[in-house]
Structure 1
Amino acid sequence: MLYQVLIIAYVLIALALIGLVLIQQGKGADMGASFGAGSSATVFGSGGSGNFLTKTTTWLAIGFFVISLVLGNLTANRTKSVDEWNDLSVPVSEQTMPTDAIPSDIESAEAIMSENSDVPTADDVATKVEDGDIPN
């Protein structure tokens, strides 16, 4: 439950950071306003938007990095489903294998393999070479 909440908060903070960075003006953007190339009137006042947006971006970035570290710590201790296949300490006899699917004699195994295999056998290749279908 905590993992899902952190992931949702992580995505929301990332989207908010992207939005805030795109809204902010660059450091040299005020130079154009002094020469009459832009409007210095903003929604937050003439100088208030920079402080508010900068502080908000800073706190969101801190939250983003803290959640990144917490999520990294949570996922480092999780076991993956692939890891159970790589466990060589358990013998094959103790693992769950369907024994009814394994044929008991060699002839029936060869019959099943020849029916279900897309790979031609050596006899098939030899007959095709003799017939001239496959060049030597």
Structure 2
Amino acid sequence: MSLFLFLLVVQAVVAAALVGIILIQRSEGGGLGIGGSPSGMMSARGAADFLTRSTRWLAILFVVLSIVLAAIAAKSSGSGVSVESTLDRAPAAPAQPVAPPPSDDPLADVTR
């Protein structure tokens, strides 16, 4: 169970980083748009490439963590309940409507 909690925290951090990286990017693909030398890592193009690569790897990590967490959760449930066994059960009987208590007043039925 501690592995599950650890991976859940890691996934939350990855999700927050993914949201942050996506929000930093400019919509037209310009990246941070910060100044500096026209060549090099922190030019507008270099920042956009870095953010694009970061987004891709964080998204891949997020999907992989989601699959691993789902597999751990399915394995740890271990109750032996599967979709097939729940479908084999008989449906529950429908609830009977509750009738109002009988009244001593003979006109009570007329006014309802």
What TM-score does the superposition give when structure 1 sets the normalisation length? 0.51
> Structure 1 counterpart of 2:65, which letter?
I
Q: Which residue of 2 aligns with 1:60?
A: 58
Structure 1 unaligned residues grouped into runs of 5+? 31-38, 89-117
Are the structure 2 counterparts of residues 60 and 4 from structure 1 closer, same or farther at C-alpha, using a change threshold of 3 Å?
same
Q: Which residue of 1 aligns with 2:95?
A: none
Whole-angstrom CA distance in 1 between matches of 2:6 and 2:29: 39
* 1:30-45 map, 5 Å: 41=35, 44-45=42-43
Q: Which residue of 1 aligns with 2:110?
A: 135
Whole-angstrom CA distance in 1 between matches of 2:29 and 2:48: 13
**Bigger radius of gyration, 1 or 2?**
1
Are the structure 2 counterparts of residues 12 and 40 from structure 1 closer, same or farther at C-alpha, using a change threshold of 3 Å?
closer
Whole-angstrom CA distance in 2 between matches of 1:47 and 1:65: 27
Whole-angstrom CA distance in 2 between matches of 1:68 and 1:19: 19
Structure 2 unaligned residues grouped into runs of 5+? 90-97
Q: Which residue of 1 aligns with 2:70?
A: 72
Q: Which residue of 2 aligns with 1:22?
A: 23
